[in-house]
Amino acid sequence: MAHAAKPAHAAVIGGGVIGGGWVARLIQNGVDVGIFDPDPQAARKIGDVMMNADHALARLTMAPMPPRGEMHFAASIAAAVDGAELIIEAVPERLDVKQAVYDEIEAAAAADAVISSSTSGILPSDLQAKMRHPERLLVGHPFNPVYLLPLVELVGGSATDPATIDRAAGFFAGLGMHPLPIAREIEAFVADRFLEAVWREALWLVKDGIATTQEIDDAIRYGFGLRWAQMGLFETYRVAGGEAGMAHFIAQFGPCLKWPWTKLMDVPELTDELVKTISDQSDAQSGQHSIRELERIRDNNLVAILHALKANDWGAGQTVANWEKSLYDAVPARTETAIDRPLETMRQQVPSGWTDYNGHMNEARYLDCFSMATDAVMRRIGVDAAYLAEGGSYFTVETHIRHLDEVTAGTQIFATSQILRGEGKKMQLFHHLYAVVADGGSRLLATGEHMLIHVDMNSRSASLPRADVAARLAELAAAHEALPRPEGAGRAVGGDQ
């Protein structure tokens, strides 16, 4: 798999549900995007998707996001793809339409641009059949909502250059996704073939009056759907086999495959009557919610599942955790030559997901801000990803926060950090958290004082830092020693304020 490296500039052709989802994921990851869609409502629709995506992102991660990419709605395909390293096609599922789009793309795109189709099932060999440079096209099939679900199936056609697959995999991994290369092209690829099988069986269950649309959905979302979300199919069945494992499961349940349980080899005719039955039942099931409400409910549930999976270091949660780590690692260590003043160690807007019922940032997020500031100081002295991998780090052993003012969602906030002590195993930090006010000034929101001890994570015991880290910390501490002692430093809870 190629090294994760998001594109600097991308293009999205088609601004529907999938195209809008791609735009949101790209923009949130700091990629500039050129967009073309002849629909006069495209900007509004993508704006709606962006609002949901931003709401979801604020709940998904506290990692410092890169500066948002710029969105440009172009008047033509040629203008949209100008300068793009990654070109995503998300137009309707008609081969002739897609091939016509590729003809326009090839006439204007950079020679080394990767062209990725979001098709759900058309073979890439068919897509590239009329292209002048078919080697740079592949299918990059995502899943809705694209800005939340990590999976993207990568399928090459008969003329696709393997290097194109590798490069696309790097692009998508850099966007926090899980690229899944498919060994051979096949209609509907892998994931949608499962969906198609379940869909066919569901149609028969409704047709034969066995279950309603809601009952079928309940069977999935309250049962095996939750297992599939974190363990997939084969691993689920391996667990079902108990201590004897998969072989036992197959021996026990394999004969069931010969039983007449399924109608997957056939599909009921989609008569007007059956379509109306399904539509009416679906309206009864979900009609009380608008599509936007259902999307928000879906996104909130997915965020909660992803958070749980991340906490357990499992499945898609690992992908989110790795993406967050890359975001933290990508924050450049500040290298100001003037170190005789507090260091700016954190700056961002307050996400809506950080606020409580009264619209103010809740108290736990103040600690999160100070945690970010502490991490920035550690990176500043050389405690980076490589240092952590070697087994060294600083652990916080004591914290004192003073909550001095309120702040609402959307407000720009920043933190400064002063080193009060930096010797031996100890590092004592004092952070100030500020809100930016309308005239460009600031108001103090909180202070946080933290004592940290250097730890050898292999032995889980206190230890001296590496010599170069100790030297950088000592240099900062010496420079900050001349600064006035911060008001509130050394106070305990309940002390004079």
pLDDT at 2: 61
Share of the chain above pLDDT 70, in %: 96
Q: Mark 139-164 as b/e (b = at least 16 C-beta within 10 Å).
A: bbbbbebbbbbbbbbbbbbebbbeeb
Q: What are the chain's domains? A: 9-189 (3.40.50.720), 201-288 (1.10.1040.10), 332-481 (3.10.129.10)
Looking at per-residue pLDDT, the higher value among 260 and 292 belongs to 292
As a whole number, mean pLDDT of residues 254-258 equals: 71
Nearest alpha-carbon partner for 86 in 28, 164, 149, 141:
164
Model confidence pLDDT, tens digit, residues 203-246: 999 999 999 999 999 999 989 898 888 888 888 888 888 887 78
Q: Please answer whether residues 171 and 114 qualify as being in contact, where contact means their C-beta atoms are separated by less than 8 angstroms.
A: yes
Nearest alpha-carbon partner for 11 in 145, 101, 144, 119:
101
pTM over 0.85: no
- Helix, strand, coil percentages (3-state) for the chain, rounded to 5, are 45, 20, 35
pLDDT at 275 over 90: no
Three-class SS state of 132: coil
pLDDT band at 382 (very low <50, low <70, confident <90, very high): very high
Q: How far apart are CA 45 and CA 16, in angstroms?
A: 8
**Phi then psi for 446, rounded to 5 degrees?**
-165, 160
Q: Which helix (H) or strand (E) holds 275?
A: helix 272-286
Nearest alpha-carbon partner for 12 in 76, 87, 98:
87
pLDDT at 1 over 70: no
Share of the chain above pLDDT 90, in %: 66
Q: Please answer whether residues 477 and 423 qualify as being in contact, where contact means their C-beta atoms are separated by less than 8 angstroms.
A: yes
As a whole number, mean pLDDT of residues 258-267 equals: 71
Three-class SS state of 85: coil
How many other CB atoms are there within 10 angstroms of residue 457's CB atom? 14
Q: What are the distances in angstroms from CA 267 to CA 120, 196, 214?
A: 20, 11, 20
Q: Which helix (H) or strand (E) holds 431?
A: strand 426-436
pLDDT at 79: 98
The DSSP secondary-structure symbol of 423 reads E
Instruction: Return the biggest CA–CA distance within the chain.
Output: 83
pLDDT at 42: 96
Q: Please answer whether residues 368 and 62 qualify as being in contact, where contact means their C-beta atoms are separated by less than 8 angstroms.
A: yes
**Phi then psi for 189, rounded to 5 degrees?**
60, -130
- DSSP β-ladder status, 151-156 and 178-181: parallel
pLDDT at 336: 54
**Amino acid of residue 262:** T
Interhelix angle 42-60/291-311, nearest 10 degrees: 30
Helix H segments across 5-141?
17-28, 42-60, 77-81, 95-108, 124-127
**Amino acid of residue 235:** E
pLDDT at 261 over 70: no
Three-class SS state of 483: coil
Mean pLDDT across the chain, nearest whole number?
A: 91
Q: How far apart are CA 83 and CA 9, in angstroms?
A: 7
pLDDT at 265: 73
As a whole number, mean pLDDT of residues 189-194 equals: 92
Q: How far apart are CA 494 and CA 497, in angstroms?
A: 8
Q: Tokens for 327?
A: 């975001």
pLDDT at 427: 98
pLDDT at 249: 76
